[in-house]
Amino acid sequence: MAIRTAHLKGQERNMGCGIIVRDLKGSVLAALSKKIYGVTDPEHAEAIPAGEAARFGYDCGFNFMQMEGDAKLIINALNSSEENLSAIGGIIDDVKRIAHYFDSCTFQHIKRSGNETTHGLAKFAYSLTEALVWMGEVPPVVMPSILKDCNIFNQ
């Protein structure tokens, strides 16, 4: 499961959240694109999607989760056994609590370039008034990046 946020939209304080769920072969199992309102700072803009991804994976009934994200600060916080007393500590604690419901859950940092599909879903979220979920199908808005990823998985 990969997570990604689009940048905050200036004075609007809105952000886009994109989540893509794949199996071990790279096939898309589910996806989510959601606009999130009232985000006040970049640290929260990076942490909130981790919570969204954990809840989405749990709600979909997946047993295993390998959460990937390009926000190293967030991934490091999720992998840490220390209590997080920062402004995003509550979000980090929520993700860790939800992670216990999975048979297996890991958090991995990836480069921003490896997160193109979820970035596309996050940017698409700005055009939405409510969240869109795709189950067992590829969101048309990110089909080009999915096809590009398929070439990478099949090499």
DSSP state letters, 95-137: HHHHHTTSSEEEEEE--GGGGHHHHHHHHHHTT-SS-EEEESS
pLDDT tens figures, 95-130: 999 999 999 999 999 887 667 888 889 889 989 999
Query: What letter represents residue 22's amino acid?
Result: R
Ordered domains of the chain (ranges, CATH): 2-153 (3.30.420.10)
Which regions of the chain does DSSP assign to beta strands (E)?
Answer: 2-5, 15-22, 28-36, 64-69, 104-109, 132-135
How far apart are alpha carbons 153 and 135 in whole angstroms? 21
pLDDT tens figures, 63-77: 999 998 888 999 999
Q: Whole-model pTM?
A: 0.87
